[in-house]
Amino acid sequence: MFAVPANTVAVAENPALRHPVRVALAHAADRASWAHLLRYDPERRFAVLVSRTEAGEVWLMSWLPGQGTGLHDHGRVDGAFTVVSGELSELVVRRTTEGRVRESRRVLAAGQSRVFGPGYVHEVRNDGVDPAVSLHVYRAGGRTLRPYALDPLDGPVPR
């Protein structure tokens, strides 16, 4: 147990400093704030803005089986995404300090999150048999997607 001095003042949390995973999880828990926006598009991944503040943006995305983003980064923006339902696969591609091309794949289930920052090149897709829903947080600067191609020798190359 810790004693709190009598002159202690509680300072309100600065929303701009909240970790993007915490923001995504808080929005995921508040399903009533975004459920009415949810749609499924048979042609492509569906994305809609849920909220925008000076600290960043929150986007809702739905994924039917086989839908994905293509290889991309988010420019200078950092953030995170959380899988709300279903499963999503993430492919991360980078060059090592030795110059090798490294690929890593992860399958993310409901409740799992990933963080990204500048230079983080990845592809997110629904490789499963069921639809998936995710919430994405983009810090100040907003949602930016810069497409990449994968060169087997040079690694991720901006298009």
Collapsing DSSP to helix, strand or coil, 66 comes out as: coil
User: Does residue 7 lie in a domain region?
Assistant: no
The CATH number assigned to the domain holding 86 equals 2.60.120.10
| 130: its two tokens | 């069921």
142, pLDDT greater than 60: yes
User: Do the annotations mark residue 27 as ligand-binding?
Assistant: no
The reported pLDDT for the residue numbered 15 is 59
Give residue-wise pLDDT tens across range 32-84.
Answer: 999 999 999 999 999 999 999 988 999 999 999 999 999 999 999 999 999 99
Q: In the sheet where 79-85 sits, what is the strand order?
A: 46-53, 56-63, 132-139, 79-85, 113-116
Residue 116 to residues 2, 51, 113, 139: CA-CA distances in angstroms?
36, 19, 10, 10
Number of domains in the chain: 1
User: Does residue 131 lie in a domain region?
Assistant: yes
| Helix or strand (DSSP H, E) at 26 | helix 20-29
User: What is the span of the domain harbouring residue 31?
Assistant: 18-150
How far is Cα 86 from Cα 2, in angstroms, rounded to an integer?
42
User: Does residue 70 lie in a domain region?
Assistant: yes
Closest to 126 (Cα-Cα) out of 92, 93, 86: 86
Strands, DSSP E only, in the chain? 46-53, 56-63, 72-73, 79-85, 87-95, 101-109, 113-116, 121-125, 132-139, 146-151, 155-158
User: Do the annotations mark residue 19 as ligand-binding?
Assistant: no
The reported pLDDT for the residue numbered 16 is 57
Give residue-wise pLDDT tens across range 74-112.
Answer: 999 999 999 999 999 999 999 888 989 999 999 999 999
User: Does residue 13 lie in a domain region?
Assistant: no
The reported pLDDT for the residue numbered 10 is 63
User: Does residue 10 lie in a domain region?
Assistant: no
How far is Cα 136 from Cα 145, in angstroms, rounded to an integer?
12
User: Does residue 124 lie in a domain region?
Assistant: yes
User: Do the annotations mark residue 74 as ligand-binding?
Assistant: yes
User: Does residue 5 lie in a domain region?
Assistant: no
User: Does residue 157 lie in a domain region?
Assistant: no
